[in-house]
Amino acid sequence: MNNFKADLNIVLEAVRKASIKITKDFYEIEKLQISKKGVANFVTSSDIAAEKTLINYLQKSRPQYCFLTEESGFIPALQENNNNDGIKYQWIIDPIDGTSNFMHGLPYFCISVGLAKIGKFESSIILGVIHNPIVNETFWAVKRNGAFLIDSLGIQRKMKVSPNNDYEQLICAIQENCISHHKLKNYQNYIQSKYVKQRIFGASALELAYLADGRINLLIQGKLNLWDYAAGLILVKEAGGVVRDLNLKDLDLNMQDGIIAGNKTLLNDIEKNC
């Protein structure tokens, strides 16, 4: 059986190393090299450098684990896993989630690293770390061990999803393109009718971390990539929250069109009325 607490310490160190370059670049934005990947989709030299740092450190520490990353795609393991049970382990990395915010000098972005256990019949996220280099906050969770925040002073505390169900007091993080799906639009219309405050933050992984810590109460997002939500997923689950897809199934590694997340009572009410 793997010692996932040891894996956690490895990720925390990898994230610390990657943060050094990101933080330096953040305060020298005018020197950034920026390339276009698609429509309104950009990658900076910092994304690429941070991903390289993460991969190099994690490969040396766990050569039997493979990778799925935003900038490099799938990277096979350097060594074969000696287990005979067919289980594989995969790092899932977004070196900078919220690149547009980063490019504009807005300190709302993060490094996101998840670890997936992939079996023949079942796969799940077993570890997640989300780190905001500028605010110097680290959110982490290990399966069946709870979710925690290490604040800027190095003090650690347990996180819990907000139990607040008074709609007029809630904040919901939404995504710009979420209204493209009719069910997501129904969710949005319903919470608007309840006077829920809506915010577009621009970094899905960090939004999930904030949800796990009770800073926001609800999240409605359109289609995401696995690296956008892998680490945040386990944070929310371990903090007592629920993340569901549009088929009302609790989300794990597979998502099609979008997600809704919050405490169970809140989600049940929204889904019942939509």
Residue 224's contacts (CB-CB under 8 Å, 6 or more residues apart) are 204, 255, 258, 259
Q: What is the CATH number of the domain that holds 235?
A: 3.40.190.80
Residue 121 is given by DSSP the state S
Question: In angstroms, rounded to a whole number, what is the distance separating the alpha carbons of residues 193 and 170?
Answer: 13
Report the domain count for the chain: 2
User: What pLDDT score does 2 carry?
Assistant: 55
What average pLDDT does the chain have? 89
Closest CA to 163 of 272, 267, 244: 267
Q: What is the CATH number of the domain that holds 106?
A: 3.30.540.10
Say whether both 249 and 122 belong to one domain: no
Which residue, 126, 158, 190, sits at the end of a domain?
158
User: What pLDDT score does 29 carry?
Assistant: 75
User: What pLDDT score does 257 carry?
Assistant: 76
Say whether both 124 and 46 belong to one domain: yes
Q: What is the pLDDT of residues 40-84, one digit of tens each?
A: 455 778 888 999 999 999 999 999 999 999 889 999 999 887 665
Burial track 96-121 (b if 16+ CB lie within 10 A, e otherwise): bbbbbbbbeeeebbbbbbbbbbeeee
Whether pLDDT at 87 is above 50: yes
Whether pLDDT at 31 is above 80: no
Percent of the chain with pLDDT over 90: 68
Whether pLDDT at 204 is above 60: yes
Query: Which position has the higher pLDDT, 263 or 252?
Result: 263
Say whether both 205 and 125 belong to one domain: no
Containing structural domain, residue 110: 4-158
